[in-house]
Amino acid sequence: MHIGFYAPLKQPDHPVPSGDRKMACLLIDMLESLGHAVTVISTLRSWEGRGDQAEQHCIERNAGKELEKLEQAG
């Protein structure tokens, strides 16, 4: 099965190590070990942890653009 993977906190190839990045890598490794083809379909980071409404609106706009891009890619 071909699986499109999205990690909303931190993408698996992010340069800064973290538990989020480690979990994403482990999930991808597990899926691949089961014979699945995994593709990271988006690197959009949608998490905003301060409650900043302006930043959340910016993320929402970027997410809309990302969704359009993914829909066009089919």
Query: How do residues 14-71 score in pLDDT, each as one tens digit?
Result: 999 999 999 999 999 999 999 999 999 999 999 999 999 999 999 999 999 999 999 9
pTM of the model: 0.80
Q: What is the pLDDT of residue 39?
A: 96
Confidence of residue 74 (pLDDT cuts 50, 70, 90): confident
Among residues 26, 25, 32, which one has the least CA distance to residue 1?
32
Q: What is the pLDDT of residue 2?
A: 96
| CB neighbour list of residue 1: distance below 8 Å, 6 or more residues apart | 36, 37
Q: What is the pLDDT of residue 51?
A: 95
Task: Determine the Cα–Cα distance for residues 62 and 73; give it in Å rounded to an integer.
Answer: 17
